[in-house]
Amino acid sequence: MTTTGWQPTACILCECNCGIVVQVEGRKLARIRGDKAHPGSQGYTCNKALRLDHYQNSRARLTSPMRRRPDGSFEEIDWDTAIVEIAEGFKRIRDTYGGDKIFYYGGGGQGNHLGGAYSGAFLKALGSRYRSNALAQEKTGEAWVDARLYGGHTRGEFEHAEVSVFVGKNPWMSQSFPRARAVLNEIAKDPARSMIVIDPVVTDTAKMADFHLRVRPGADAWCLAALAAILVQENLCDEAFLAEHVHGADVVRDTLHAVSVADYAAHCGVDEELLRAAARCIGTAASVAVFEDLGIQQGPNSTLCSYLNKLLWILTGNFAKKGSQHLHSSFAPLFSTVSGRTPVTGAPIIAGLIPANAVPEEILTDHPDRFRAMIVESGNPAHSLANSAACHEAFQALELMVVVDVAMTETARLAHYVLPAASQFEKPEATFFNFEFPRNGFQLRRPLLEPLPGTLPEPEIWARLVRALGVIDDADLRPLREAAQQGRQAYTEAILGTVATNPTVAKLLPYVLYETLGPTLPDELAGAAALWGLAQKTALTYPDAVRRAGYADGNALFDAILASPSGVTFTVHNYQDDFALVSHADHKIAVEIPEMLNELKTLTTAPPQLTTSEFPVVLSVGERRAYTANDIFRDPSWRKRDVDGALRVSVEDAHALGLTGGGRARITTAAGSAEATVEITETMLPGHAALPNGFGLDYTDGNGNVLTPGVAPNTLTSTEWRDPYAGTPWHKHVPARIEALAAVSSRS
């Protein structure tokens, strides 16, 4: 492994996974800059990537498997002991209660998805069926709407859009599409282009916008419905597009014709003429792209908001053309097609994921189908899910809990076993956040460093656990190992023949690839073996787009991925391909969703009052700021400002409540209370306050001091505040009370 010069890898702090190059000194990521050879980011990166050594060399790193003692403390054990005991424990759960009582949470953070490709083999070997991850806190409502409309995920082409619409989204801070800040600056400087932001907060992006629709917190549905209604009522729809490519438009138009724009403007707190001007901007533009995010996905009417904001570009025909909205290829699916209900509470399973809010309820019960065991991989649900207290109680009630992570997280402390993973820069890694159109990219990141002694990459962890289950005979693997030594074509023929005749091999394919193809891969890339199968599937699913990208078949694509450390463009689409990517048999958008139209009709009444005299303020938790990065940075020393994660309040509320900038306040909700430092700002509306994400994590510094800066947001949230369709939490709309705390004086 080379450890000198600039080495390509990627940032792991948001879904963009911008390409970076790194100089390593010893085990330190000494210098970091953007990778100009990366097909997506092209040398762009934000300030957060420059601080990745705080992750790589955190004092919180684990270096040995840990087993919890009866008194709750932990002891180090060797890997062989850990693997045997864990495998036996899960076999006991399976044989006693059934494999479906083993629940899986995780599968990778913002950049480590490759390990999750292998955990699936272990879960299938056990008969585990139920899973969840962070996407079930955000994206399942949108996924439900997408599945009904066109069957896939869409992304806007903001680089070329005449009008860009951001709904509950601050891309200046949260990024989420390539070269976000550069693109935003290009839009702001171009008089022929416009930006519309729907957000109660004057965010960095809102300050750049041509139209800031500053909605009342939680009233986004009325704002979006008014915009869609204006498009219909002022004849701004693309009738030719709707006639040729959309089903159900007449029913939707009839519903929107009945909307009183003036009343909805009053409900959402946005001037009617401003709404009309923004809608006309959308309706007359040559191209429109829309991005929704957590601001609406974690608030009231979130699934309805997902539906309504998509009407803005569907009604105006902004699909399958440059600068508009697109379906796209995928190298690996983030969601499955599994649906149904959870075994205990009957909560909806969308895209294969159990609602995060339902997880404690599926455990804390005497129901015979409750979850008895849990695996957590690269996740921290005890900290990141609503109502941390309920999560703690639930996880402590499990008969067996195993956590795979780089650090002793809040969740790991509740586990029976903790397995230390190699960091994302010590193993082959990849992300499956591949959302771009018409050119979509994928990067296999090579390890920059050897795994920290005592740690293992996740593919090896899962392989050892599968071996310990004894579910596959080595005799089945031997011919495949021999074929792999003979070359790619021989291996392809051998594996396809074996999969067709051996159901166990087919079920455990990622493990089989790791054991047979993995040893033949160069430069410590055995963990990339699962990508061979994904490359074959990609080539079969998008044959023309893969050939346009320069690859004759799946083997050629796989070999290019191995040989291209800065990443490859794996598909190149034509704009008309968008229609072929619509999964409905007739390849038309099915815009009539009865449940959503019924919800739309209920908006004729004023927004319900969710705050009370006891909890009069809307608290938004998990705000993205310049020095927040989810839970991946446990070391707080990377923050150069806002080191305590201040509670942001409006000038009006500060005056009314007697709050002072830099002073302390108590925040109380129905779920709990916490104290925070106050920041007074004109960016917040009266009655609206915000706490950042990424705080409330404890960390032991070099002097042995335990630091816990800021508020852990989910000490204040509740599993009961959730969307009725998707079960996503209302983290952005928590009724709260804020009280000033008296300053503590000191005497010399």
The per-residue pLDDT for range 163-176, each reduced to its tens digit, is 999 999 999 999 99
Query: Are residues 423 and 456 in contact, defined by beta-carbon separation less than 8 angstroms?
Result: no
Question: How many alpha carbons lie under 13 Å from residue 330 in its C-beta half-sphere?
Answer: 13
Q: What is the dihedral of CA 149, 151, 152, 156, to 10 degrees?
A: -20
Tell me the whole-structure pTM to 2 decimals: 0.96
Q: Is pLDDT at 747 greater than 70 in this prediction?
A: no
Average pLDDT over residues 333-358: 94
**Cα angle at 48 between 45 and 51, to 5 degrees?**
115
- Distance (Å, rounded) from C-alpha 554 to C-alpha 577? 20
Rg, Å, the chain Cα set: 26
Task: Read off the pLDDT band of 4 (50, 70, 90).
Answer: low
| Helix residue ranges, H only, 249-321 | 249-257, 261-268, 272-284, 294-297, 302-315
Average pLDDT over residues 305-327: 98
Instruction: Identify the residue with better confidence: 686 or 523.
Output: 686
pLDDT digits (tens, 9 = 90+) for 569-611: 999 999 999 999 999 999 999 999 999 999 999 999 888 889 9
Q: What is the dihedral of CA 114, 99, 474, 503, to 10 degrees?
A: -90
* Residue that is written with structure tokens 């159990």 in the block: 354
Name the residue among 589, 524, 530, 586 with its Cα closest to residue 558: 530
Query: Are residues 618 and 611 in contact, defined by beta-carbon separation less than 8 angstroms?
Result: yes
Query: Tell me, what DSSP letter sits at residue 196?
Result: E
235 residue type, one letter: N
| Helix residue ranges, H only, 290-387 | 294-297, 302-315, 381-384
The share of the chain scoring above pLDDT 70, in percent, equals 99
Average pLDDT over residues 399-413: 97
Contacts of 148 (CB under 8 A, 6+ apart): 590, 593
Return the axis-axis angle of helices 530-541 and 554-563, rounded to nearest 10°.
Answer: 130
**Cα angle at 394 between 388 and 397, to 5 degrees?**
145
Strand partners, 688: 618
Average pLDDT over residues 53-62: 94
pLDDT digits (tens, 9 = 90+) for 276-297: 999 999 999 999 999 999 999 9
Q: Is pLDDT at 534 greater than 90 in this prediction?
A: yes
Q: Is pLDDT at 9 greater than 50 in this prediction?
A: yes
Query: Are residues 171 and 203 in contact, defined by beta-carbon separation less than 8 angstroms?
Result: no
Tokens coding 157: 């082409």
Q: Is pLDDT at 324 greater than 70 in this prediction?
A: yes
Extended strands (E) in 488-640:
568-572, 589-590, 617-623
Q: b/e per residue, 64-79, with b = 16+ CB within 10 A? A: bbbbbeeeeebeeeeb
Q: Is pLDDT at 523 greater than 90 in this prediction?
A: no
Name the residue among 595, 606, 601 with its Cα closest to residue 256: 601
Contacts of 303 (CB under 8 A, 6+ apart): 141, 142, 144, 145, 596, 599, 723, 724, 725, 726, 728
Name the residue among 427, 527, 443 with its Cα closest to residue 8: 443
Contacts of 589 (CB under 8 A, 6+ apart): 149, 150, 245, 246, 247, 314, 319, 582
Q: For the chain, how are helix, strand and coil distributed in percent, rounded to 5?
A: 35, 20, 45
- Distance (Å, rounded) from C-alpha 290 to C-alpha 164? 6
- Mean pLDDT (the chain, rounded): 96
- Which domains, and CATH codes, for the chain? 1-57 (3.30.200.210), 63-129+372-431+439-572 (3.40.50.740), 139-330+580-601 (3.40.228.10), 610-740 (2.40.40.20)
CA distances 349 to 129, 136, 140, 584, Å, are 11, 9, 9, 21
- Distance (Å, rounded) from C-alpha 40 to C-alpha 54? 25
Cis status of the peptide bond prior to 438, with omega within 30 of 0:
yes
Task: Read off the pLDDT band of 330 (50, 70, 90).
Answer: very high
pLDDT digits (tens, 9 = 90+) for 117-163: 999 999 999 999 999 999 999 999 999 999 999 999 999 999 999 99
Name the residue among 564, 723, 560, 698 with its Cα closest to residue 635: 698
Tokens coding 120: 């699936």
pLDDT at site 451: 97
CA distances 747 to 77, 79, 522, 620, 663, Å, are 50, 54, 66, 37, 19
